[in-house]
Chain A
Amino acid sequence: MSNSCEEEVITIGHCRGGSKEAFEVIVRRYMKDAYFIALGLVGNREDALDLSQEAFARAYYHIKRFNQTREFFPWFYQILRNLCINHLRKRKRERNHRVKELGRQSSTTCAGDWFAPELVAERNEMKEKVWTAVGRLDDKHREVIILRHFQNLSYEQIARTLYCNKGTVTSRLYYARRKLKEILDREKGGQQE
């Protein structure tokens, strides 16, 4: 076990004893990862901040359920992911409801509608298109793209984070990239027409 892992196990042990100081150490270690993953999943700065903080608070409440023989981050990721997915569902329901009330078609509503281009650093047209296209992927494909490209995780790390095997990660990545290409090609085609 590496030093940082041992350190984390000890820190988590203190958290289980109710130490908020120890939990602060954990939060400071993972806050950027949590924020950027949430941003990748929901595509909105305020929501990403809110959801990632809420995920930490829930992790603190349920820290006794955490199996200390495993890594903290994959366990925390499940909490964060569930919060983000529920948030997206709720947002979609509200949006559909509003659209229905206005008497318009709701079929075009998808997560990509909230993926604002201003979240991209050193913006250009292509990067903005890719970011918006990532937002249009379905949840399980979007998350592998986020973990691979935005978090730079290896297949092994992604598999541990998602509690699945490497084959599943590879397969999801294949279909995610193919879908991404389809969306970008469609947009290109749409612009040319």
Chain B
Amino acid sequence: MTCHDYKDLMMGYLDGELDDEQKRSIEAHLAACPQCESELKEFRKIKQITDEVVLAEPEEKVWQQYWGGVYNRIERGVGWILFSAAAILLLIYGGFKAIEEIVKDPEVGIILKVALLGLIAGLAVLLVSVLRERLYIRKKDRYKDVRR
């Protein structure tokens, strides 16, 4: 084993995470390698000063009001979902009604009607295409479960 291979053992030694055999192995290496021995001393200092840093507790009222904050977010989230779903439904309904009126109106020119229907058909094709692509990628993506 090289000094580099002992780096993991050194961390475990420092944090009291080694079993007896590993401990014996690193101690034997440290006794024979002044460079690793000195590195361990440096790491011990870093560990000690980092352990001394304690983060200040916030005021007690923060903990008392904590659940309230989470609850409000959950409630507002539900509110937003309902609001958005209803808004989308209303927009679709209103849109269809408006289009129906225009298509049925004999005073509106045929060109405008065709353009409007083309616009809707185009939107529908785009929507279906995007949805199909998303579903296809989701099914075939070999890395979908990989954490990034």
Contacts and interface: CB of A to CB of B under 8 A. Distances in A.
A84 interface: no
A121 B46 CA distance: 18
B49 A127 contact: yes
B62 interface: yes
Contacts of A174: 7-8, 10-11
Nearest to B4: A174
Contacts of A120: 53-56
A180 B50 contact: yes
B51 interface: yes
Given A120-B53, A130-B50, A163-B147, A57 B77 contact: yes
B53 A130 contact: yes
B74 A170 contact: no
Contact of A131 (B51, B53, B69): B53
Instruction: Give the interface size class of chain B.
Output: 20 to 34
A177 B147 contact: no
Interface of B: 7-8, 10-12, 15, 17, 42-43, 46-47, 49-58, 62-63, 66-67, 69-71, 73-74, 77, 147
B67 A127 contact: no
Contacts of A31: 63, 66-67
B67 A121 contact: no
Contacts of A177: 11, 43, 46-47, 50
B53 A173 contact: no
A145 B63 CA distance: 24
B12 A28 contact: no
